[in-house]
Structure 1
């Protein structure tokens, strides 16, 4: 019975003490395999979370904001509204106990030790993909596709990406201010945190990040953050002072044009204005800021997604400085997790290089051996499993339930010609395989980039036909300077570059 507040308090302390003993007992056992070690860490993590939640409830009881605990203690001493009567309080309590047992005649004493000892044999459910192999390797194919299909990335192999993803200092600053880079960095940090929490559940990530933040703030104030040394800001100064042009030295647009197109472009970009057009158009746009404050300047002169403010020729960066600082902090956190996962990253790269050197048959055999090793590491002898329906095996090495087999449609076969007519069972596995190594290798052999345009395409002929159409469309949209670049003669006639060059060669203009 735990109907009274004091009984609830006593049960809470007993539960905390019992879980502490279980944690000590569990940690005294050395796990034989990495899989068992991971299970042990998650068991301990779950027990620590239970202790924390129980302790928080006990703190609320001891704070006694509604004076319920104080009244209950007073009632045990016989202090009632009519005065002090110890015998009355005793018989009231006795009546309550008898009433409880009258309503629950079949109640029996439960041995809590047996129930809690069962927790030491528990195997927590941990979500790992086949590529991650119980935390041995990283599965970053989605982030890799996001990287190579972006403006800040480059078309490289997956193995090379594992070398460069933890080095954001090599990416130019102007590409880091884009929304696309911010979303990529958020997704990358989110995945690394999720992977780290699954593989290292006993690590206090909040404490690690608090130290990273404190070091980052100090380095940012001193302009010493790696990759952002020239982008620090102090006392409200703009982070792009080197791009300023003092307009007081120029009285005409022609004089300003002598600065050159590149410097004009940098000055306009720092101000948040459009950077396109000829040298004269750039100079005219920048010269407007000499006499007109930016807040009064027409919005058509500003680039999308930027904002500017300036007065008396002073140029202030149009980029959101706080946003750049947030991106730099995400990079610092990402680097710290990469340092903690350095061994896993190296193992992932070695695994990718090894797979690239194998044939399809050898890859499949290697993968089956890996899965078998993970499932049978803790067992010295193989056990015969009764599986008449030939259902797929689950994470625990046993056949999955038949209802789950039907729910995910695992009896439905999908074949992919690009993967060498390899069969995928179930819609989920079929959709996921477009981002996996086998399909990527097949597309690479065809000389076709594995982008979202080719999702759901499994035929080599269809993939080649679509790639041909994309190339033709790109060729039509390509700028042809000999036909589209315009020239003007002295009389104001407009010609394209090819015609103008021919007439000039003939001396007609």
Structure 2
């Protein structure tokens, strides 16, 4: 077992490596929403590990058992003896376990330094080369790394599978919210306004529009609990780095002040509440007609007579008081849930607005168009399966469409996919059609290769696919910039007090020497 000092040192080292892993991931320029979300979840997990190790360091530093103090005294008194004793234990352990491979700790964190999108580009390049060779085309070697580690980046297969099962189809990996279940619960609330799902998304946070009588029902309480639970889970899944406890604490403080002042939206105190309250029967009425009818009823008159005669039992009064306190507590809980949900809605305002736009757009689509949209949304890279049971007849070697079948020949000719363009900067990659060829100049693969050549990927270099041409143009641009600077010093003229004319450089040189 490691010593206490070694445990502290190891914890400090782990914290530094975890912090560096977080920095490495944050510096990666990711464009896909899937990878960004996995990165946030990984960072959240690493932060939890940092907190765990920090707590261990604090516990060991307190030294409640006194073992750390004993170990420090032993090292101070017997330095060499303690050193050789521990060295002997290490050698003995290695002799007993010769087959145990010891990996350096930094190997575990190498995966956090690699960009998953760059690895994906390398895999695509490998597949493009293999497909080109299989089809008998002239394809030069496309650069990629063959000795990639088993776990290349922070994105693993488990992360991909967990991400696919974490969100519903309507949420689209956290881009939108899915309140269909809460909409159903809302429709089951008694006396609730009948709203479509689109209208519900527009005003589900306007709780002040609901009557207070509706808010005391069990169905409404279950509806609020469902909303709170959904938003808490959505923050954990789609926004794992959001500081939800801090936001909840701030909202709770504001609510406590507003509730004490009677200014909570939808729960404002009014004089009518006291006017329509029967103190004898401890009942609150919403309408004045109902209140007047109750005051004239025989039941109320008997209760009032018993109260005046002092015959009312203390148990009944205590029961009424407890019922009133319970009702007040239920109202306060409902008001707090509404206030917290409003806070969540403010934070997720953009996603809720995008959800309404997406629902409105999808309502205008047919079932086939919706299915096509799901299939085409952010397609993931998959390796071809050589053992296909179904062989597709494609004698003209046409590209595959979204349905897995060759596209029509007229569409192939319309987009000019028969014309192939090669880019030497991208490793002689082949692009079918002018559109794909023009688009690739803005893609990360071409930009990365241009940076490797030391050339900025600006508009001036679009259309240049030869490395020599791009380097020549870059040299000419740099040379022209130097000439512009030199011409400024040469052609700008200055005149001294005697009327002699010099260029800018000569004039300031003579002036610094005191000759003019």
**Given the two structures, how large is their TM-score scaled by the length of structure 2?**
0.59
Shift of the alpha carbon at 1:323? 1.9
> d(CA) in 2 for partners of 1:27 and 1:104?
39
Question: In the TM superposition, what whole-angstrom CA distance separates every residue of 1:288-337 from its partner, at most 9, and x where no partner exists?
Answer: 331335973998xx9xxx96249xxxxx9575212211211111111111
Partner residue in 2 for 1:384: 384
Task: Look up the match of 1:37.
Answer: 36
* 1:295–1:309 CA contact under 8 A, matched in 2: no
User: For the residues of structure 1 that align with 2:18 and 2:333, how far apart are their CA atoms?
Assistant: 40
Aligned residue pair count: 337
The answer as to 2:313 corresponding to 1:296 is: yes
C-alpha deviation, 1:226, in angstroms: 0.9
What is the CA–CA distance in structure 1 between the aligned matches of 2:20 and 2:306, rounded to whole Å? 74
1:243-322 pair list within 5 angstroms: 243-244=276-277, 262-263=287-288, 265-266=290-291, 279=293, 283-293=297-307, 296=313, 308-309=320-321, 317=324, 320-322=327-329
The alignment status of 1:209 with 2:223, answered yes or no, reads no
Contact 2:8 2:60 (8 Å CA) reproduced: yes
Residues 89 and 244 (structure 1 numbering): CA distance in 2 closer, same or farther, change over 3 Å? closer
CA distance in 1 between counterparts of 2:75 and 2:53 reads: 25
Contact 1:23 1:47 in 2 (8 A): yes
CA contact (8 A) 1:307 1:319 kept: no
The 8 Å contact of residues 45 and 201 in structure 1, kept in 2 or not, is answered as yes
CA distance in 2, matches of 1:386, 1:341: 45
Structure 1 counterpart of 2:265:
226
Distance in 2 separating the partners of 1:167 and 1:264? 29
Alignment check: 8 A CA contact 2:295 2:301 kept? no
Deviates more, 1:111-120 or 1:11-20: 111-120
| Paired residue secondary structure (1:228) | coil
1:331 aligns with 2:338: yes
Give the distance between the partners of 1:163 and 1:122, measured in 2 at CA.
Answer: 38
C-alpha contact (below 8 Å) 1:41/1:201 kept by paired residues: yes
Assess if the C-alpha contact under 8 Å between 1:185 and 1:327 holds in 2: yes
Q: How far, CA to CA, are the matches of 2:216 and 2:326 in structure 1?
A: 7
User: Which has the larger share of helix?
Assistant: 2
- Offset, 1:16: 0.1
Distance 1:261 1:4 in 2: 72
Q: Aligned pair 1:157/2:189, yes or no?
A: no
In structure 2, what is the Cα distance between the partners aligned to 1:389 and 1:204? 50
Measured after TM superposition, the shift of residue 131 of structure 1 is 1.3
Find the aligned partners of 2:30 and 2:385 in 1 and give their Cα distance. Answer: 25
SS state at 1:133 partner:
coil
Q: Residues 57-456 of structure 1 correspond to what in structure 2 (within 5 A)? A: 57-78=56-77, 86=79, 88-119=81-112, 121-123=153-155, 124=159, 125-126=162-163, 127-230=166-269, 240-244=273-277, 262-263=287-288, 265-266=290-291, 279=293, 283-293=297-307, 296=313, 308-309=320-321, 317=324, 320-369=327-376, 373-376=377-380, 383-385=383-385, 388=388
Query: Which whole-Å deviations, capped at 9, do the CAs of 1:354-387 have from their partners, x for residues lacking one?
Result: 2222222223223333xxx2333xx6xx753567
Q: Tell me, yes or no, if the aligned pair for 1:219 and 1:225 is still in contact at 8 Å.
A: yes
Asked if structure 1 preserves the Cα contact closer than 8 Å seen for 2:255 and 2:336, the reply is yes
Following TM superposition, the consecutive aligned residue runs of length 4 or more in structure 1 with deviations greater than 6 angstroms are none
Distance 1:227 1:280, change over 3 A: closer
Query: 2:457 maps to which residue?
Result: none
Distance 1:362 1:157, change over 3 A: same
1:51 is displaced (CA, Å) by 0.4
1:77 match: secondary structure = helix
Within 5 Å, which residues of 2 pair with 1:7-26?
7-26=6-25
Instruction: Check 1:364–1:86 CA distance in 2 against 1; reply closer, same or farther (3 A cut).
Output: closer
Between Structure 1 and Structure 2, whose CA radius of gyration is higher?
2
Aligned equivalents of 2:357, 2:275: Cα separation in 1: 44
Output the aligned Cα RMSD. 3.2
CA shift digits 1:425-459 (9 cap, x unpaired): xxxxxxxxxxxxxxxxxxxxxxxxxxxxxxxxxxx
What is the distance in 2 between the residues matched to 1:5 and 1:280?
76
| TM-score using structure 1 length | 0.60
Partner of 2:401: none
CA distance in 2, matches of 1:62, 1:149: 56
Structure 1 residues 86 and 55: alpha-carbon distance in aligned structure 2, compared to 1, 3 A threshold: closer
Query: 1:178–1:386: structure 2 CA closer, same or farther, 3 Å change rule?
Result: farther
Separation (CA, whole Å) in 1 of partners of 2:51 and 2:100 = 30
Given that 1:265 and 1:282 are in contact with CA atoms closer than 8 Å, whether structure 2 keeps it comes out as: no
CA positional deviation for 1:282: 6.6
Q: SS at the partner of 2:379?
A: helix
CA distance in 2, matches of 1:225, 1:384: 60
Native 8 Å contact 1:177 1:319 kept in 2: no
User: Quick one: distance in 1 between partners of 2:6 and 2:244?
Assistant: 36
CA distance in 1, matches of 2:368, 2:82: 80
1:74 alignment partner, SS class: helix
103-112 vs 319-328, greater mean Cα deviation = 103-112
Q: What are the superposed Cα offsets for residues 449-487 of structure 1, whole Å, 9 maximum, x if unpaired?
A: xxxxxxxxxxxxxxxxxxxxxxxxxxxxxxxxxxxxxxx
